[in-house]
């Protein structure tokens, strides 16, 4: 049975997160419903690179599944899109080897978190950015971001609601981009714990607003306690940007 | 009674247009509900610069109303925003003279229409842009836009569903902007007929796709018949950008 890798973009606004669950609209639920229709009722199990929470978006979520159908590779995007709602867009579908796994084969992931500062809310981006009325201290933010790069135990930046025991992750890149009127926090790492990016952003925003010193980041990491870090930033600013299998 | 001018931005997606109507969610309906709450139940009638259709957005819609309350001018934005849903944003509220009228005092309006070309749909902008898979001939589009500048009878670019008899309008500016990956059609005029911008864009897109020659624009204007023009472009690309009272 051919194994396929699909890259999906989705608007997380109207989903109760990625993972399938009864009586809730989820990305995985919509995806498996669409695949069942293409496969004439047969249930096709899908595997994603990881979950995303309610309200969190994706530009490049990756899933894999095995198909029993003989559809040529270039036709898969259109075939899937025909059965999917307009808040899930299939970016690309490719044939992969049988040992490819969307989660276990991933080498790194990139997340981005978009913020607009200033007095006014942009009504057209309210579901894809977070509005921060205060101006931010960019120098302090960049200093805080620098201190989380590398291999660390990220227990302090992980929701207490997790089953994962091993909380050491490597952050390869953590930087602040400025695009037009947006501040974009960009994180590249070998893995991310539950709510990790949102707690990092929430804490570093407190640094940017002068509520914490950037030097505190190291103490927070060392504390290995969720209490040591700041708030969890809201979901709508977050995008699972890309998953790499290099 | 002080007269106030309010500038509103709204996301038209979840509204059945601007104008109030029974059993439908409208911008005017939400606005008057909010004003009634601020005025302790008293109904406050509002007057807008004009209507917008279902799904059409605004960055700078202007309304006026008379208030019986003694709220200081700088507090009005927050007072109104507190009672409005998050798809209507109050940009600014100012005291105006008693002869100001949002519709009759307007000297010109600007509309913008946003298009993304290329193979892929951007899931985050699908409600605020129109996706055109084909590439567009920019030279032909600019030529077509040029030919509608000036004073013309725009009968051919007006929905048949209108009561307006006088269909002569002046277009001061009609141009194509390129911002990042977007094509933006920009129109400035002393007034716009029902569906006029959407029929102009729909017709000029046919020019851009090579289905019509740009020289046809003059013939279409001369025909004074809706049949002569092209399709009405979809609502979600359109934004009432600004209303001027200079």
pLDDT at B119 over 90: no
Among A46, A76, A96, identify where a domain stops: A96
Q: Containing domain of residue A14, as a range? A: 3-96
Q: Is residue A151 part of a domain?
A: yes
The pLDDT of residue B162: 87
Asked if A143 and A62 sit in the same domain, the reply is: no
Q: What is the CATH number of the domain that holds B194?
A: 3.30.70.660
Name the interface residues of A facing B (CB cutoff 8 Å).
9-11, 57, 86-89, 91, 120-124, 126, 128
A62 CB neighbour count, 10 Å cutoff: 26
Asked if A88 and A116 sit in the same domain, the reply is: no
What is the residue-averaged pLDDT of chain A? 96
Among A96, A127, A143, identify where a domain stops: A96
Q: Report residue A203 as tokens.
A: 């804490």
Name the interface residues of B facing A (CB cutoff 8 Å).
9-11, 57, 86-89, 91, 120-124, 126, 128
The pLDDT of residue B163: 85
What is the residue-averaged pLDDT of chain B? 96
For chains A and B, CB pairs below 8 A equal: 42
Residue A134 main-chain phi, psi, to 5 deg: -70, 155
Q: Given an 8 Å threshold on Cβ–Cβ distance, is B89 in contact with A57?
A: no
pLDDT, tens digit, 9 for 90 and up, residues B14-37: 999 999 999 999 999 999 999 999
Domains in chain B, number: 2
ipTM exceeding cut-off 0.85 for this assembly: yes
Q: Which of A9, A87, A123 sits opposite B11 (nearest CB)?
A: A123
Asked if B192 and B139 sit in the same domain, the reply is: yes
Q: Given an 8 Å threshold on Cβ–Cβ distance, is B9 in contact with A123?
A: yes
The pLDDT of residue B195: 96
pLDDT at B69 over 90: yes
- B128 contacts on A by Cβ (under 8 Å): 124
Active site residue A181: no
Residue B30 main-chain phi, psi, to 5 deg: -65, -40
Q: Is residue B12 part of a domain?
A: yes
Q: Is residue B214 part of a domain?
A: yes
Q: Report residue A96 as tokens.
A: 């992969």
Asked if B53 and B164 sit in the same domain, the reply is: no
Q: Report residue B161 as tokens.
A: 């569903």
Strand ranges for chain A from DSSP E: 3-10, 47-48, 57-66, 88-96, 108-117, 130-132, 150-153, 168-179, 182-189, 238-244
Q: Is residue A101 part of a domain?
A: no
Among B33, B61, B96, identify where a domain stops: B96
Nearest to A15 by CA among A74, A80, A76, A85: A85
The pLDDT of residue A212: 97
The pLDDT of residue A163: 85
Q: Which of A10, A120, A123 sits opposite B123 (nearest CB)?
A: A10
Q: Is residue A102 part of a domain?
A: no
The pLDDT of residue A21: 95
Asked if B115 and B205 sit in the same domain, the reply is: yes
pTM of the predicted protein model: 0.92
Asked if A31 and A128 sit in the same domain, the reply is: no
Q: What is the CATH number of the domain that holds B21?
A: 3.30.70.580
Asked if B118 and B42 sit in the same domain, the reply is: no
Q: Is residue B102 part of a domain?
A: no
Q: Given an 8 Å threshold on Cβ–Cβ distance, is A124 in contact with B57?
A: yes
- In this prediction, residue B194 has a pLDDT band, given cuts at 50, 70 and 90, of very high
pLDDT at B226 over 90: yes
Element (H, E) at B99: none
Q: Is residue B45 part of a domain?
A: yes
Q: Given an 8 Å threshold on Cβ–Cβ distance, is B89 in contact with A123?
A: yes
The pLDDT of residue B120: 86
pLDDT at B64 over 90: yes
Asked if B90 and B118 sit in the same domain, the reply is: no
Asked if A238 and A190 sit in the same domain, the reply is: yes
Q: Which residue of A has its CA nearest to B57?
A: A124
Mean per-residue pLDDT, B137-155: 98
C-alpha to C-alpha distance for A91 and A6, rounded to whole angstroms: 7
**Structure-model confidence comparison of residues B196 and B181, the more confident one:** B196
Asked if A156 and A84 sit in the same domain, the reply is: no
C-alpha to C-alpha distance for B111 and A116, rounded to whole angstroms: 24
Q: Which residue of A has its CA nearest to B179?
A: A180
Q: Is residue B103 part of a domain?
A: no
Q: Report residue B92 as tokens.
A: 């600014």
Interface probe with A: pick from B82, B89, B124, most Cβ of A within 10 Å = B124
Asked if A84 and A128 sit in the same domain, the reply is: no
Listed as ranges, residues in chain A with pLDDT below 70 are none
Q: Which of A89, A124, A126 sits opposite B123 (nearest CB)?
A: A89
Q: Given an 8 Å threshold on Cβ–Cβ distance, is A126 in contact with B57?
A: no
Asked if B14 and B63 sit in the same domain, the reply is: yes
């Amino acid at each position: 049975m051919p194994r396929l890798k699909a890259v999906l973009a989705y608007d997380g606004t109207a989903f109760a997160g990625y993972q399938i669950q009864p009586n809730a609209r989820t990305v995985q639920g919509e995806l498996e419903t669409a695949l069942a229709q293409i496969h004439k009722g047969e249930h096709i199990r899908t595997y994603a690179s990881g979950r995303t929470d309610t309200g969190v978006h994706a530009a490049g979520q990756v899933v894999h599944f095995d198909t029993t159908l003989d559809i040529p590779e270039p036709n898969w995007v259109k075939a899937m899109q025909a059965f999917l709602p307009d808040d899930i867009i299939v970016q690309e579908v490719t044939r992969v080897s049988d040992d490819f796994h969307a989660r276990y084969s991933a080498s790194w992931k990139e997340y981005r978190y978009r913020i607009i500062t200033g007095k006014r809310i942009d009504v057209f981006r309210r579901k894809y950015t977070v509005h921060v009325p205060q101006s931010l201290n960019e120098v302090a933010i960049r200093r805080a971001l620098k201190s989380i790069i590398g291999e660390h135990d990220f227990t302090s930046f992980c929701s207490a609601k997790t089953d994962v025991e091993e909380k050491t992750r490597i952050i390869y890149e953590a930087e602040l981009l400025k695009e037009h009127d947006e501040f974009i926090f960009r994180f590249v790492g070998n893995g991310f714990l539950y709510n990790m990016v949102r707690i990092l952003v929430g804490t570093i925003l407190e640094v940017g607003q002068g509520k914490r010193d950037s030097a505190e980041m190291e103490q927070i990491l060392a504390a290995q306690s969720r209490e040591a870090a700041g708030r969890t930033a809201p979901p709508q600013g977050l995008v699972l940007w890309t998953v790499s299998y290099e």
